């Protein structure tokens, strides 16, 4: 197998919607930078409300993490409900609990063909010391009416086919989808509502003039917009001052096996359940297109250059499912996530009529979609509250050294993971 290979998603996607590069001069109520789930989620809500919208992406719909991820649609934020209530208020908790609902409702509303299933998500644990935390998590979500349940070691083995977990919980609000087809479907929905969506359209400059925004793309197109939404997450560049420095763009790696045998499929993650675990540097797994077993996790901080860069994922796969040792691997790929120091996403309004959302810490399929929708609703009617408050843009100290520090941090977290019981 040569490298790089396409992701399993690129290899199995429907044809992409037509999103030609933008050219010439345009005017819109809102310009959206980034055609991932955040940008497209916002664009759909805005176009539904009658706003004229232009979405611009350097690549195209789903070019970033939105088209490369594990397709696990998981509700929630880092904190459990009681802590969320305390730190961010009841509305933030309510929002966090409903993010997966937002995704599945959009899929239904726009008939998005993206292999969506709602088989639940299991958060397993390899550490008995983490079980009390999971029990609290389950009790608190149950108190909010969520369909969640603790699993003991035998229960989790039955549902996943691996004996590594000592317990865990299942969240039946969650599910899986084909992320690139989901991104394409969101783009088609936005187009069907009259929005313009343009790939190959990197926004090179952004200036405020006479109470409007002027965006100029790398190929010279000019867009005059009343409001700008930035949803560039792990692909954030130097377009807006200091924004890039607020997040650490980390690579998330994935591998997918050749199709599993019927016999393997009956044991390994039957019932299209998705799973990850409670370690600081966790693995996530699911069955993907063609009945392939997929595993993902945190890779190196730089982009992978060769297959050897994926060796940790291969070892992780064998540790969970030794019986796949002889199963060839068909796909290896990666994408960029945006990490924040407190694992919470960021909303910024550094200038009038500008909304920025990023920093989903590798959990943005549901969160980014719901955040985009909430931003769209708020722009249409500023009385509609956002789920989190705006924060000042504060770059992380010594950001440019992040690959070194972050790699050290990852190894430190791995060590702590390995020392915990």
Tell me how far apart the alpha carbons of residues 393 and 234 are, in angstroms, rounded to a whole number: 16
Site for ligand FAD in 127-166 (CB under 6 A): none
Between residues 167 and 304, which has the closer beta carbon with respect to ligand FAD? 304
We find the least distance from the C-beta atom of residue 154 to ligand FAD, in angstroms, to be: 26
Report CA torsion sign: 24, 239, 60, 6.
positive
Which of 168, 231, 304, 387 is close enough to bind ligand FAD by CB under 6 A?
231
The answer to whether residue 199 forms part of the interface with ligand FAD (CB under 6 A) is no
Which of 104, 165, 184, 235 is close enough to bind ligand FAD by CB under 6 A?
235
Q: Which is nearest to 40 in space by CA: 178, 180, 183, 176?
A: 183
The answer to whether residue 97 forms part of the interface with ligand FAD (CB under 6 A) is no
Q: How many CA atoms lie within 13 A of 62 on its CB side?
A: 26
3-state secondary structure of 285: strand
The answer to whether residue 21 forms part of the interface with ligand FAD (CB under 6 A) is no
Tell me how far apart the alpha carbons of residues 232 and 92 are, in angstroms, rounded to a whole number: 22
Between residues 220 and 237, which has the closer beta carbon with respect to ligand FAD? 237
Which of 168, 296, 297, 387 is close enough to bind ligand FAD by CB under 6 A?
296
Between residues 169 and 182, which has the closer beta carbon with respect to ligand FAD? 182
Which of 120, 368, 376, 387 is close enough to bind ligand FAD by CB under 6 A?
368
Residue 257 makes CB contacts below 8 A (sequence gap 6+) with: 292, 293, 294, 317, 324, 327, 328, 329, 330
Among 78-86, 187-195, 258-266, 334-342, the segment contacting ligand FAD (CB under 6 A): 334-342
Among 109-117, 161-169, 322-330, 332-340, the segment contacting ligand FAD (CB under 6 A): 332-340
> Would you state the structure tokens that stand for residue 107, as one six-digit string?
């899929």
Tell me how far apart the alpha carbons of residues 334 and 354 are, in angstroms, rounded to a whole number: 30
Tell me how far apart the alpha carbons of residues 364 and 377 are, in angstroms, rounded to a whole number: 19
Between residues 131 and 251, which has the closer beta carbon with respect to ligand FAD? 251
The answer to whether residue 28 forms part of the interface with ligand FAD (CB under 6 A) is no
Among 138-146, 265-273, 348-356, 363-371, the segment contacting ligand FAD (CB under 6 A): 363-371
Provide the strand spans (E) within 308-402.
329-339, 346-348, 354-358
Q: Could you give the angle at which helices 90-109 and 179-192 cross, rounded to 10 degrees?
A: 80
Q: Which is nearest to 190 in space by CA: 396, 82, 46, 338?
A: 46
Between residues 90 and 105, which has the closer beta carbon with respect to ligand FAD? 105
The answer to whether residue 283 forms part of the interface with ligand FAD (CB under 6 A) is no
Among 64-72, 113-121, 151-159, 387-395, the segment contacting ligand FAD (CB under 6 A): 64-72
Between residues 131 and 172, which has the closer beta carbon with respect to ligand FAD? 172
The answer to whether residue 39 forms part of the interface with ligand FAD (CB under 6 A) is yes
Q: What are the backbone angles phi and psi of residue 337, rounded to the nearest 5°?
A: -105, 165
Element (H, E) at 207: strand 203-209
The answer to whether residue 295 forms part of the interface with ligand FAD (CB under 6 A) is no
Residue 62 near residue 332, CB atoms below 8 Å: no
The answer to whether residue 196 forms part of the interface with ligand FAD (CB under 6 A) is no
The answer to whether residue 120 forms part of the interface with ligand FAD (CB under 6 A) is no
Residue 124 near residue 147, CB atoms below 8 Å: no
Element (H, E) at 230: strand 222-230
We find the least distance from the C-beta atom of residue 155 to ligand FAD, in angstroms, to be: 23
The answer to whether residue 246 forms part of the interface with ligand FAD (CB under 6 A) is no
- Residue 288: how many CB atoms within 10 A of its CB? 23
# binding residues, ligand FAD (CB under 6 A): 45
We find the least distance from the C-beta atom of residue 419 to ligand FAD, in angstroms, to be: 26
We find the least distance from the C-beta atom of residue 55 to ligand FAD, in angstroms, to be: 9
The answer to whether residue 50 forms part of the interface with ligand FAD (CB under 6 A) is no
The answer to whether residue 293 forms part of the interface with ligand FAD (CB under 6 A) is no
> Would you state the structure tokens that stand for residue 219, as one six-digit string?
């190929």
Residue 92 near residue 262, CB atoms below 8 Å: no
The answer to whether residue 123 forms part of the interface with ligand FAD (CB under 6 A) is no
Give me the residues that bind ligand FAD (CB under 6 A), please.
Answer: 33-39, 56-59, 63-66, 68-72, 74, 202-203, 231-235, 237, 239, 252, 254, 284, 296, 334-337, 360, 362-366, 368
């Amino acid at each position: 197998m040569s490298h790089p290979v396409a992701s399993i998603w690129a290899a199995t996607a429907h044809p992409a919607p037509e999103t030609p590069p933008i050219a010439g001069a345009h005017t819109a109520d809102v310009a959206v930078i980034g055609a991932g789930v955040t940008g497209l989620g916002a664009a759909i809500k805005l176009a539904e409300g009658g706003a004229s919208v232009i979405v611009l992406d350097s690549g195209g719909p789903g070019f970033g993490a939105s088209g490369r991820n594990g397709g696990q649609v998981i509700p929630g934020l880092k904190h459990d409900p009681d802590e969320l209530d305390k730190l961010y208020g009841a509305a933030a908790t309510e929002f966090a609990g409903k993010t997966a609902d937002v995704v599945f409702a959009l899929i239904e509303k726009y008939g998005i063909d993206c292999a969506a299933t709602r088989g639940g998500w299991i958060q397993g644990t390899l550490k008995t010391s983490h079980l009390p935390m999971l029990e609290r998590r389950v009790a608190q979500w149950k108190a909010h009416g969520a369909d969640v349940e603790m699993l003991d070691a035998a229960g989790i083995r039955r549902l996943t086919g691996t004996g590594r977990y000592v317990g865990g919980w299942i969240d039946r609000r969650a599910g899986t989808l084909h992320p690139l087809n989901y991104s394409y479907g969101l783009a088609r929905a936005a187009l069907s509502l009259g929005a313009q969506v343009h790939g190959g359209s990197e926004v090179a400059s952004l200036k405020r003039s006479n109470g409007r925004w002027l965006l100029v793309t790398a190929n010279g197109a000019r867009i005059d917009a009343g409001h700008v939404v930035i949803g560039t997450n792990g692909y954030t560049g130097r377009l807006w001052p200091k924004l890039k420095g607020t997040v650490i763009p980390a690579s998330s790696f994935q591998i997918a096996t050749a199709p599993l045998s019927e016999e393997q499929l009956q044991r390994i993650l039957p019932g299209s359940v998705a799973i990850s675990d409670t370690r600081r540097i966790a693995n996530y797994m699911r069955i993907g297109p063609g009945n392939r077993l997929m595993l993902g996790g945190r890779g190196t901080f730089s982009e992978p250059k060769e297959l050897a860069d994926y060796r940790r994922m291969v070892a992780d796969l064998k540790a969970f499912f030794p019986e796949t040792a002889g199963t060839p691997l068909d796909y290896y790929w990666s994408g960029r996530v945006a990490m924040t120091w407190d694992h919470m996403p960021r909303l910024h309004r550094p200038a009038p009529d500008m909304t920025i959302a990023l920093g989903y810490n590798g959990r943005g399929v549901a969160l980014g979609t719901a955040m985009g929708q909430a931003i769209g609703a708020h722009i249409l009617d500023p009385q509609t509250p956002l789920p989190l408050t705006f924060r000042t843009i504060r770059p992380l100290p010594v950001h440019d050294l992040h690959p070194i520090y972050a790699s050290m941090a990852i190894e430190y977290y791995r060590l702590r993971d390995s020392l915990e019981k």
